[in-house]
């Protein structure tokens, strides 16, 4: 069995989640919009999932809009808010996932768009937010809660406070943060928050946009009026049920998961220090407990990734979604990392199924690969 260290790209489906989904792929097939008994039973399952997802981030179930995943929720958050409230300008961090940054860039011709600064530790500069807020009215700011490549946690509540004090709106992509750290919708003070099921051991193809009901969102998809007319289309019932179960389990196990993931990361990073030429990205910032993003000076990241793959160790060389183009990571570029070092980047992201022995296997291989004796 290969060792899967690419859990920020996706996580394995929890077997308890799979069991919860199965009846909705067979016996309970009715359309949740149908008024008959079978339809109502399926509707109830969606309502339970809505409560479970809301509970994970301490929102009210009525604030949850189910979508086909994080990508759709990000598109809905940005376009929905901009069109729904007739906003004038958008500020976005350059380290966002493409499902945020590319949406914002696509709106550049119609709206004023500002990209915020990022420091060398991988965090969005609040000074650049201050400047934006001073010079704009009627705006949306989108900054992710934790970055998918570096794991760096962003100053979202401080930015949300600035946005609110100028009557602006704030969206955060919390896809990587939930299940790995405590995330509280109210406390963060954001108006919109994106979640995705398959990053928390749920199925692919389900996600949610959480919204503050004081705001107006324009739908992107029109049709049968599902999800309070904000996302039409017959619901992906089994995936939504699985997302709900995954959210419930994530909440139950949050403290335990955090401690376990952090122990794996500490084991890796302590041993990585023995390898010459190591550069740890975002090491000075507060990070997700499961993510280590690094380069070995003079070693090409793609070549190392292939060698690790041959050994049965699966890692990423940068953003998973961009991994079929060989451009250096846009996140490292925004952090001002030199291109030769950025091209060596390898991301290890742990999941709850990983073990300390697997971490040691990776270290053994890296030591061999860099010609260092394992006697350290």
Task: Give the number of residues written for the chain.
Answer: 376
Would you say the C-alpha torsion 230, 234, 236, 240 has a positive or negative sign? positive
**Which span sits near ligand PLP by CB under 6 A: 68-76, 115-123, 135-143, 333-341?**
68-76
* Residue in 344, 210, 211, 362 with CA at minimum distance from that of residue 278: 344
DSSP for residue 257: H
Q: Is 219 in the site for ligand PLP (CB under 6 A)?
A: no
Q: Compute the least distance from the CB of residue 144 to ligand PLP, in Å.
A: 6
Q: Is 97 in the site for ligand PLP (CB under 6 A)?
A: yes
Q: Compute the least distance from the CB of residue 152 to ligand PLP, in Å.
A: 12
User: Judged by CB under 6 A, which of 207, 328, 344, 351 binds ligand PLP?
Assistant: 207
**Which span sits near ligand PLP by CB under 6 A: 170-178, 233-241, 256-264, 269-277?**
170-178
Q: Is 227 in the site for ligand PLP (CB under 6 A)?
A: no
Q: Is 71 in the site for ligand PLP (CB under 6 A)?
A: yes
Alpha helices (H) in the chain, listed in sequence order:
15-21, 37-56, 70-84, 98-106, 126-135, 156-165, 185-188, 237-252, 254-272, 301-310, 330-334, 339-342, 356-369
Q: Compute the least distance from the CB of residue 290 to ligand PLP, in Å.
A: 13
Residue among 2, 321, 326, 372 flagged as catalytic: 321
Q: Is 176 in the site for ligand PLP (CB under 6 A)?
A: yes
Q: Compute the least distance from the CB of residue 294 to ligand PLP, in Å.
A: 19
Question: Total binding residues for ligand PLP by CB under 6 A?
Answer: 16
Q: Say if CB 300 and CB 344 are below 8 A apart.
A: yes
Q: Say if CB 11 and CB 18 are below 8 A apart.
A: no
For residue 223, with 0-12 CB atoms within 10 Å meaning exposed, 13-18 middle and 19 or more buried, which class applies?
exposed
The number of CA neighbours under 13 Å toward the Cβ of 310 is: 7
152 is an active site residue? no
Query: For ligand PLP, which residue has the nearest CB?
Result: 70
Q: Is 242 in the site for ligand PLP (CB under 6 A)?
A: no
Q: Is 349 in the site for ligand PLP (CB under 6 A)?
A: no
For ligand PLP, give the closer residue by CB, 75 or 89. 75
Q: Is 149 in the site for ligand PLP (CB under 6 A)?
A: no
Q: Is 154 in the site for ligand PLP (CB under 6 A)?
A: no
* Residue in 77, 88, 212 with CA at minimum distance from that of residue 138: 88
Measure the CA–CA gap between 255 and 260, rounded to whole angstroms.
Answer: 9
Q: Is 247 in the site for ligand PLP (CB under 6 A)?
A: no
Residues 261-320 that bind ligand PLP (CB under 6 A): 320
Residue 105 in 3-state DSSP?
A: helix
Residue keyed to tokens 């690969």: 369
Measure the CA–CA gap between 76 and 173, rounded to whole angstroms.
Answer: 12
Q: Which residues bind ligand PLP (CB under 6 A)?
A: 69-71, 74, 97, 99, 144, 148, 173, 175-176, 196, 198, 207, 320-321
| Active site residues per annotation | 321
């Amino acid at each position: 069995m290969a060792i899967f260290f690419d859990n920020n790209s996706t996580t394995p489906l929890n077997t308890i989640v799979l069991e919860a989904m199965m009846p909705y792929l067979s016996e309970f097939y009715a359309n949740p919009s149908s008024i008959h008994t079978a339809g109502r039973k399926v509707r109830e399952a969606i309502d339970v999932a809505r409560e479970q997802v809301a509970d994970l981030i301490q929102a009210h179930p009525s604030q949850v809009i189910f979508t086909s995943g994080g990508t759709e929720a990000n598109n809905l958050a940005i376009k929905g808010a901009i069109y729904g409230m007739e906003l004038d300008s958008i500020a976005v961090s350059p380290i966002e996932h493409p499902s945020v940054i590319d949406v914002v860039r696509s709106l550049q011709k119609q709206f004023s768009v500002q990209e915020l600064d990022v420091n060398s530790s991988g965090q969005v500069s609040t000074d650049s937010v201050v400047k934006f807020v001073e010079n704009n009215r009627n705006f949306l700011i989108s900054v992710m809660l934790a970055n998918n490549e570096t794991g760096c946690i962003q100053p979202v509540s401080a930015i949300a406070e600035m946005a609110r004090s100028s009557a602006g709106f704030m969206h955060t992509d919390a896809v990587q943060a939930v299940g790995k750290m405590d995330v509280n919708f109210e406390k963060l003070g954001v108006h919109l928050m994106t979640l995705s099921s398959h990053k928390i051991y749920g199925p692919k193809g389900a996600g949610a946009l959480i919204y503050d009901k004081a705001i107006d969102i324009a739908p992107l998809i029109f049709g049968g009026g599902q999800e309070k007319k904000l996302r039409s289309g017959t619901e992906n019932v089994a995936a939504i049920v699985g997302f709900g179960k995954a959210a419930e389990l994530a909440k139950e196990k949050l403290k335990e998961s955090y401690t376990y993931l952090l122990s794996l990361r500490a084991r890796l990073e302590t041993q990585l220090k023995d390898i010459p030429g190591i550069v740890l990205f975002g090491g000075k910032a507060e990070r997700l407990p499961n993510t280590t993003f690094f380069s070995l000076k003079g070693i090409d990241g793609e070549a190392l990734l292939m060698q690790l793959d041959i050994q049965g160790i699966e890692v990423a060389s940068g953003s998973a979604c961009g991994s079929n183009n060989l451009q250096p990571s846009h996140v490292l570029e925004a952090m001002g990392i030199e291109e030769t070092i950025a091209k060596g980047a390898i991301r290890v992201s742990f999941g709850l199924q990983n073990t300390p022995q697997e971490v040691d296997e990776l270290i053994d291989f890296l030591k061999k690969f860099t010609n260092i004796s394992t006697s350290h």
